[in-house]
Structure 1
Amino acid sequence: MRTASVKDVADRAGVSVGTVSNVLNNPDRVSEHTRERVQGAIAELGFVRNDAARQLRAGHSRTIGLVVLDASNPFYAALARGAEEEATAHNFSLLLASSLEDSRREARYLDLFEEQRVQGILLSPVGESAPRVTDLAHHGVNTVLVDRDAETQDYGSVSVDDVHGGRIAVEHLINTGRTRIAFLAARSELRQVADRWRGAQEAVAAATADGRDVSLERLEADALTTLSGRAAILDLVQRDRLPDAIFCANDLLATGALQGFIMDGRYSIPEDVALVGYDDIEFASSAIVPLTTIRRPAEQLGKTAVRMLLGDTASERTVFEPELIARASSTPR
């Protein structure tokens, strides 16, 4: 059975092919009466537009590609939700991909999005991004980094000041009377993790300079996940002396850490160990011990990145300030 064409729709509706094209692509240019006739013909004939052919003619599609580090992380799910809402408001669709923190997988998705002639790409990169983003720009594909500051002035970014976030997290722990602080992290090559560690170090250095007896150690988990956080704590509790505070690189690790302490049963949060996470995912406030965390505006990051990509500000840098959200997991001693 032959698929209905644009010409078939035009003949059925008694209009020109150009009018059908306007109804499909620029409906505001066509009167309501004519739109209804054309849409009626489309429904009768079962017409489905050939978007691939339209992309070839236009040189790009009405889609935006988004590559995040881990789509299963609620933070990136919220970021994608914000990006999708903003894209939809501009009559664009969002294609979501997860690199799983694998640079080769990331490269494959970037190639795929370029082949699909997306309008642009939002990228939360695994590593160094400048060479690939520059290549995309030379091929006519604009890119905006999300959750990472741009490395050059050649493209834009929407990020959060994670150094400041790490600093205020540890300052909070010090101000609640904690002196033996640990930073629980994984994937230290990720810029976000490295920046939070740097901020933690700055906070301890400042406290030490003021004469306070504060120490900082680093604990490594296998991944930035709940299960890895739990496993790290179940190993930690075998030590003779524990830190009295743990700052986790994200809320998933912190959630796992909380589970680990509960499973072990010998230590209480926050009486024995204070706990601080990072991101303020939805679960943080409803955990069995509500989690103190550093809030990043995930949805706003996604929305801002789409506006930059579609507007005239695709080479700008926007940096949001993180916010400490104090809850029961780190109450003062």
Structure 2
Amino acid sequence: MVLLDFEQPIAELEAKILEMKQLAENSKVDLSSAIAAVEEQLINLKKETYQNLTRWQRVQLSRHPERPYSLDYIENMCEEFIELHGDRNVGDDKAMIGGFGRIGEQTIMFIGQQKGRNTKQRQYRNFGMPNPEGYRKALRLMKLAEKFKKPIVTFIDTPGAFPGIEAEERGQGEAIARNLKEMMMLNVPVICIIIGEGASGGALGIGIGDKVLMLENTWYSVISPESCSSILWRSWDYKEQAAEALSLTASDMLKHKLIDGIIEEPLGGAHTNPQKMYATLKKVILENIKKLEKIDPEKRIEQRIEKFCKMGVVVE
């Protein structure tokens, strides 16, 4: 398992427990009480560590290489999933995935940004940074879901939309702007979930929903801490200060009423117990769809527009 710097004391205690267990087995000496005491110490250390993470440490957890990605959630939550491809214009953007999935009797249109596990996969998925055709594919699938009256769930996990000149030439800004407008007017329930990184318009391009939720160890901001640091201080060395200034964690977003809720992760992050995370997310999705489907579509659209129009309003 990949360890982050602040997880080193936890790893040392885990190694100590393993060593004590091996010693007890080899020497046939009863060390159960001593092991239990250290295990309790480990649990307390984990709680103290993960409940008091800095904003930068949350960012690090959101980027953990073993953290589940969009396809991991979809494939482990759905009994059946049919991936759909292409924007019917330019091509198929591998950084944006989507298709119909079935959970029990509920059919859902899943759309999400997808990263890769190794160098080859990361290049194939363009590091989770969609091009304009990715956002146009997402919109095509949303309209398809609307046609068949199926709810939409989006998984947000991107360091931003692809900033290359070719993306700008093909209308990156227009593609994202169109998604913002069209998502406001969708007459089916839309749930947006930030499962990792939620950066800039790249995240917002599939982030307009009746419910916007964040996993506990994720971030959502107009810019990444590194990019913010490079603009303000001309160096990436101040990324920790930038993360604090940006107030980009789930608790910050909920406090400022920019999201509707936080989904609890297993202690240590989603990657420490993926199966538990899949089960939790599955339950949350089904519960929210059930609630949203009871609301009249016109009323739902009105509430969606009103919610986003209230954001950023300051009264002096």
TM-score > 0.5 by shorter chain: no
Tell me which structure has the larger Cα radius of gyration. 1
TM-score (norm 1): 0.28
Bigger proportion of residues as helix: 2
Q: Which has the higher contact order (CA 8 A, sep 6+)?
A: 1
TM-score (norm 2): 0.29
